[in-house]
Structure 1
């Protein structure tokens, strides 16, 4: 097995992207109702549960940073078409949608990875969900405030959405919302980026940053681009 620290480009973003696809598969393949069907001895009713496909479907990525790009890489492995929209920096031209509404209209799975700032709060609201492709799946592993939970519940109840996956909430810890009770919702407590590998790599990266500063080298991740590591260690 390759040591975690030697995986090329691996980081928390890898694991969040895997979490997105875990939710997408769970909701597309209808794992919860099919599990209940088998447990309840209702084998003859299996054809009543519509099972979908990711292959050939379109994945819409909102926020095309490291996590968004990794999600796109996994989508390619599933044979999905990928489109993207980023409110702060344009994605590659071959993936870019002109606006968020166009992305929603084109996506079978819409996944959120934009930062939460005033301009992006409730980026996905009633108006946007009215434009989403009927039967789409919505996944939020970005920030809880990107999604209007009331609007998401209404879209589920109307059939506009066929499933919602959430790893993030507003506020956190999550307060109860009726959305949580819907059978086509999967919830995790903001830990898709907290796998054993991700935690190991977090500590490895922190140790490397400390070693770089002590050795007079610029660390890989610097919050302040004007910070001078040479002056700091002089």
Structure 2
């Protein structure tokens, strides 16, 4: 893209500005995925300097990047923050609203990727794929009892959270012949049995979490102890839904037979208490970052920036 000619834009007060609009990436943002969807002559800055931030009209922000009042004070021309994903816990939405800055999200762009990743963990844990691989690789085959895989068919999958991701993963469970039960405090399933959280924990052979966090631990050890022994639990939603120490205790007691985690209280994680346990799969918060999901997420974020810079509003805006 030629860097000499730029589009005229509007400052936040609506007055005309001859300079080219500047959009910055906060966190790793691939310009090849956003430039086709930004105004033709926009200046996109991958690694913004202090001066770039001061001039920025828009920002495409990755999930792990904090946008608070201190950063916003350094960006006086900012008109839109396009957050990849749907969570805005790291964005001060109230401060943005006070400054007339739109906050956009990208719902649905990675829903299938997260559902595939979560169900992939469930299947791998139930079938004991990791344990079987380690068993053969370590030379124990022929000398010790082999890990016996479990079954998906005929088992009960509890989907906690019935939004976009929950609906997709429910379909995956059905396709494998599983009984699917649903718990969501806000949404009722039209096609699956809706149950209480207590019943979900008691009846499930596998649980997958797809609810927002922030409300305290959803699955404390007392509730997990009511589950069938060997329960498989996968969390690709929010780390605070179930504490790592709770999972450690449940594994040690045999309440849980397998755990899959893609989210952690502090990221990147170092020295996680479940690391190295053969019954545990740990993923670096990447279930929603498949190749296709990344393309869709950055396209939606860039389109939100473009809509705002051209005088409109993002299609999906976060509210205070």
Shift in Å at residue 202 of structure 1?
Answer: 0.8
Q: Is the 8 A contact 1:122 1:146 kept in 2?
A: yes
Matched residues in 1 for 2:150 and 2:282: separation? 20
Q: In structure 2, what is the equivalent of residue 6 of structure 1?
A: none
* 1:27 aligns to 2:125 (yes or no): yes
1:112 aligns to 2:209 (yes or no): yes
2:163 paired with 1:68? no
Name the structure 1 match of 2:262: 167
Structure 2: state its 5+ residue gaps. 1-106
1:101 paired residue among 153, 176, 198? 198
1:158 alignment partner, one of 245, 249, 253: 253
Given that 1:37 and 1:45 are in contact with CA atoms closer than 8 Å, whether structure 2 keeps it comes out as no
Paired residue secondary structure (2:142): helix
- The Cα of 1:69 is off from its aligned counterpart by 1.0
For these two proteins, the number of residue pairs brought into alignment is: 214
Q: Shift in Å at residue 70 of structure 1?
A: 1.2
How do residues 84-99 of structure 1 correspond to structure 2 at under 5 angstroms? Answer: 84-92=182-190, 94-97=192-195, 99=196
Q: Distance in 1 between matches of 2:273 and 2:298?
A: 37
Cα RMSD for the two superposed structures: 2.3
Structure 2 SS opposite 1:88? coil
Asked if 1:131 corresponds to 2:226, the answer is yes
Structure number with higher helix proportion: 1
Unaligned 5+ runs, structure 1:
1-8, 226-234
2:178 equivalent in structure 1: 80
Higher-Rg member (1/2): 2
Taking the aligned partners of 1:183 and 1:35, their CA distance within structure 2 comes to 10
User: Partners in 2 of 1:104 and 1:203 — Cα distance?
Assistant: 36
In structure 2, what is the Cα distance between the partners aligned to 1:123 and 1:158? 19
- Aligned partners of 1:63 and 1:200: how far apart in 2? 25
Residues in 2 aligned to 1:46 and 1:92: alpha-carbon distance in whole angstroms: 47
Query: Residues of 2 paired with 1:55 and 1:217: CA distance?
Result: 49
Larger mean CA deviation between 75-84 and 104-113 belongs to: 75-84
CA offset digits 1:152-209 (Å, max 9, x no partner): 1111111111000000011222243322232211101111101111110012222333
Tell me the distance in 1 between the aligned counterparts of 2:216 and 2:267. Answer: 15
1: CA distance, partners of 2:268 / 2:137:
32
Moved more, 173-182 or 195-204: 173-182
SS in 2 for 1:105: helix
Partners of 1:57 and 1:136 in 2: CA distance: 11
Is the 1:34–1:46 contact (alpha carbons within 8 Å) kept by the matching residues of 2?
no
User: 1:109 Cα deviation (Å)?
Assistant: 0.6
Structure 1's 46 and 201: CA in aligned 2 closer, same or farther, altered over 3 A? farther
Shift of 1:216: 7.3
In structure 2, the residue matched to 1:191 is 286
- The corresponding residue for 2:146 is 48
Out of 198, 204, 220, the residue aligned to residue 315 of structure 2 is 220
